[in-house]
C-alpha cells in the first residue's frame, strides 16, 4: 500500500507485548480507536515486539484478548483467535507482517536506503563514554544531544575499531533544521533533532532494530496517516518524521494525548498491577464501566454511564480532551469496582 494514497483515515494501535495492558494503555488505545473510527477510518493493529529481551508471546496474546474484551476491533493485523501456545498469529490485511519481529526484511531495506543517502554511521561509544561526553547522568530525550563523536571518525579509524572487535550501533545524522508538525491537541511543534537527543540510533549494537526505525518504517509502509498516542512519545516524533522524510513516506497527523496517572501523579505503568485490565476483569469489573469512565475523562460521556466504545463514537472529538495529565483518584476507581459483583 502506498502511504497517503487516499483520504481515508488509517489509524493504528501499536502495543508492545512487554506486560499486561493497564488502564493507561486502555485510555490511549481507546482514544486512538475513537479518533480513527469517528472519522470513518480504518484501524490497524501492529504488535511492536521488536525488542526480544522485553517482549513475550504470552503478553501479545493477552493484549489482543484484552483489547477485544474492551470492545475494540481492527481491520488489519493479527487475528487474536489464531495465536497462543507459541503459535504465530494469522493476519488479515495487505500490509503484513503486522508483527514487528517478522518485519526484519523491511527494516534491513530501510537501513540500506539510509546508508545510500549517506546519513548512517556506526557509533562505537559505550554508555559510559556517552555519560562522560554529555557531562550528564545519561543521554536521553531531555539530556544533552549526542555530540556526533563517531560521525567524525575517518574510514581508517572506523576500520580499526571494527578490527579491534568494538561493537557499533548505527546512528542517523538527520536533516538540520526544525521538524515542524501540528499536534492536533498541542498545537504547532517546532523541535529540532538536536532538541531530542541529536543523531539517534536506528540499530542497537546487538543488531536489534531501534524503536524509531521500526515505527517509522511501519507507519510509512502501512499507509498510516493518523497517529494518536501518549504525550510521553512526543520527543520521538521529530525523529520519526525525519526518518519518514528520508525514506520518502508521507507524514501522518499526530495527536499526543495526556497520560493517565495514579493519585500521586505517577504515570500508570506495569507496576500498577491492580489496574491491569486482567486484574479488573478478574474482580468482575465490566468492560463497559471502564470505557464509560474513560469516555467521561475524555469529555464525551457527561453522565458517566457504562458504555461500549462504539456508543461514544458520535460524540467523540479530540478537542474535548483535557490538556493536562489526569490523576485517577480513589473515587474514580471505586466507581469502577462498586458495581462489580463480589468475586
Residues forming the annotated binding site for L-glutamate? 12-16, 48, 211, 229
Window contacting ligand GLU (CB under 6 A); options: 14-22, 101-109, 147-155, 329-337: 14-22
- C-beta atoms surrounding 87 within 10 Å: 10
Give the Å distances, CA to CA, from 12 to 120, 145, 228, 256: 28, 30, 8, 13
- Does the footprint of ligand GLU cover residue 277 (CB under 6 A)? no
Q: Minimum CB separation from ligand GLU for residue 201, in Å?
A: 16
Taking the complex as a whole, the smallest distance from the CB of residue 36 to ligand GLU amounts, in Å, to 13
* Shortest CB 22 distance to ligand GLU, Å: 12
Q: What is the DSSP string of 126-138?
A: -HHHHHHHHTSS-
- The verdict on 309 binding ligand GLU (CB under 6 A) reads no
Nearer to ligand GLU, 48 or 65 (CB): 48
Q: Using CB under 6 A, which residues numbered 196 to 225 contact ligand GLU?
A: 215
Q: Answer for the pair 184, 253: CB distance below 8 angstroms, yes or no.
A: yes
Contact between 15 and ligand GLU by CB under 6 A: the answer reads yes
The end-to-end CA distance of the chain, in Å, is: 48
Antiparallel, parallel or unpaired: β 42-45 and 260-261? unpaired
Distance between CA atoms of residues 306 and 71, nearest Å: 12
Task: By CB under 6 A, tell whether 66 contacts ligand GLU.
Answer: no
Q: Where does this chain touch ligand GLU (CB under 6 A) — which range of 11-19, 147-155, 197-205, 325-333? A: 11-19
Q: Can residue 100 be called a binding residue for ligand GLU (CB under 6 A)?
A: no
Q: What distances in angstroms separate CA 201 from CA 138, 204, 214, one per listed residue?
A: 15, 7, 11
For ligand GLU, the binding residues (CB under 6 A) are: 14-16, 48, 215, 229, 233
Amino acid at each position: 500500500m502506498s502511504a497517503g494514497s487516499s483520504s481515508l483515515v488509517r489509524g493504528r494501535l501499536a502495543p508492545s507485548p512487554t506486560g499486561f495492558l493497564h488502564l493507561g494503555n486502555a485510555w490511549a488505545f481507546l482514544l486512538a480507536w475513537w479518533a480513527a473510527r469517528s472519522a470513518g477510518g480504518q484501524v490497524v493493529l501492529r504488535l511492536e515486539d521488536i525488542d526480544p529481551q522485553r517482549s513475550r508471546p504470552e503478553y501479545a496474546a493477552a493484549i489482543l484478548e484484552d483489547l477485544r474484551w474492551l470492545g475494540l476491533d481492527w481491520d488489519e493485523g493479527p487475528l487474536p483467535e489464531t495465536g497462543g501456545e507459541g503459535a504465530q498469529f494469522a493476519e488479515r490485511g495487505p500490509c503484513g507482517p503486522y508483527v514487528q519481529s517478522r518485519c526484519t526484511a523491511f527494516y534491513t531495506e530501510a537501513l540500506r536506503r539510509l546508508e545510500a543517502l549517506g546519513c548512517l554511521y556506526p557509533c562505537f561509544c559505550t554508555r559510559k563514554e556517552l555519560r562522560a561526553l554529555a557531562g550528564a547522568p545519561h543521554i536521553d530525550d531531555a539530556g544533552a544531544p549526542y555530540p556526533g563523536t563517531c560521525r567524525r571518525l575517518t574510514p581508517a579509524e572506523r576500520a580499526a575499531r571494527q578490527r579491534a572487535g568494538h561493537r557499533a550501533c548505527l546512528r542517523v545524522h538527520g536533516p538540520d533544521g526544525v521538524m515542524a508538525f501540528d499536534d492536533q491537541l498541542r498545537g504547532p511543534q517546532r523541535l529540532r533533532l538536536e532538541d531530542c537527543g541529536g543523531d539517534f540510533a536506528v540499530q542497537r549494537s546487538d543488531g536489534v532494530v531501534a524503536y524509531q526505525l521500526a515505527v517509522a518504517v511501519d507507519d510509512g509502509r502501512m499507509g498510516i496517516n493518523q497517529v494518536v498516542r501518549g504525550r510521553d512519545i512526543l520527543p520521538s516524533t521529530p525523529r520519526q518524521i525525519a526518518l519518514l522524510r528520508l525514506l520518502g513516506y508521507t507524514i501522518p497527523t499526530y495527536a499526543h494525548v495526556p497520560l493517565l496517572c495514579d493519585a500521586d501523579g505517577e504515570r500508570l505503568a506495569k507496576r500498577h498491577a491492580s489496574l491491569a485490565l486482567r486484574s479488573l476483569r478478574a474482580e468482575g469489573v465490566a468492560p463497559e464501566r471502564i470505557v464509560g469512565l474513560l469516555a467521561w475523562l475524555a469529555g464525551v460521556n457527561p453522565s458517566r454511564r457504562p458504555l461500549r466504545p462504539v456508543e461514544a463514537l458520535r460524540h467523540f472529538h479530540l478537542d474535548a480532551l483535557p490538556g493536562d495529565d489526569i490523576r485517577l483518584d480513589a473515587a474514580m476507581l471505586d466507581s469502577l469496582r462498586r458495581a462489580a459483583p463480589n468475586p
